[in-house]
Amino acid sequence: MSLKSKNLRFSRTPLLIKIFVVLVPVIALLAPMNFVLLTPGPVTNLFPKVLTISKASGVKTYPVNGNLYLLTVYVTNPETMVFGAEVAACWAHGDCVAKPRSAFYEKNTTNTEEKKAGKKDMVESQNIALTAATAAIHRKFPNINLGQLKESSVKVSLEDTGGPSGGLVFTLGLIDLLTPVDILQGRKIAGTGTISADGHIGAIGGVTEKIIGARKAGANILFVSTENCSELPAKVEGISVVAIEKIDQAIDYLLAAKPSVNSAGIHGCASVGA
């Protein structure tokens, strides 16, 4: 066999390899992936319009000195197809993260079902926040009379937002409205976490994106659940992230800290920060 015939015989293999190398990433970029994409969502100040107490209820409220931020994340809908190219672009973008769809949605969940469930979770979170706030006020400020306070007294005006992660902020907001103590002390405070009737703060999804949102909004302090400690970055700059287990810890922290102090970093996690 001549050298020429050998070259002809084997010249096709490198070409097939080249085609394979080119096509595989192209197909991967065009193929649908079993992921959802998360990006920071709008940051909403609870006061003066979102969270209010009806004047007709006869419940006394007090001026709020500062800002209390409700954080959100954008998550692609359960029926939205996410392609490989979008996942790659998300990973390359600092404010976006791709996570397995199963971490957020049950199999075969529809957009309508998810929206309905999100609204239900939000309403339940607001009702539980009232119970948690009332109990915390009884513990921390026992001289305050909340005898006339009812669920119908509390008004929340918030459109196109669902889920239970606003429980921490709603509870802290109600405590500030219903007590004469200056809890916020002029600071910009953000928070994210579920709330239980006894004041326990539970984990939420998208905590990293909510740190980004809180920092962009100019918040000095962000409260999160200690259950989210394993998901926090190694360090943060420009904002103090404080992990707590109970709503009472948020009250104690805010009343103990000086308004001018902003110790950037992560606090309250044994494995992260101090």
Task: Assign residue 75 the CATH number of its domain.
Answer: 3.30.230
Lowest mean pLDDT, pick from 115-119, 150-154, 186-190: 115-119
99: helix, coil or strand?
strand
Write out the residue range of the structural domain in which residue 219 sits: 40-80+108-267
Q: Is residue 149 part of a domain?
A: yes
- DSSP character at residue 29: H
In a domain, 206, yes or no: yes
Per the structure, the count of domains in the chain is 1
Contact 202, 224 (CB under 8 A): no
Residue with tokens 């915390």: 136
Does 45 reside within a domain? yes
pTM of the model: 0.81
Per-residue pLDDT tens digits for 218-239 = 999 999 999 999 999 888 999 9
- Answer whether residue 230 is part of any domain: yes
12-30 and 84-92 helices, crossing angle to 10°: 80
In a domain, 210, yes or no: yes
Lowest mean pLDDT among 20-24, 29-33, 93-97: 20-24
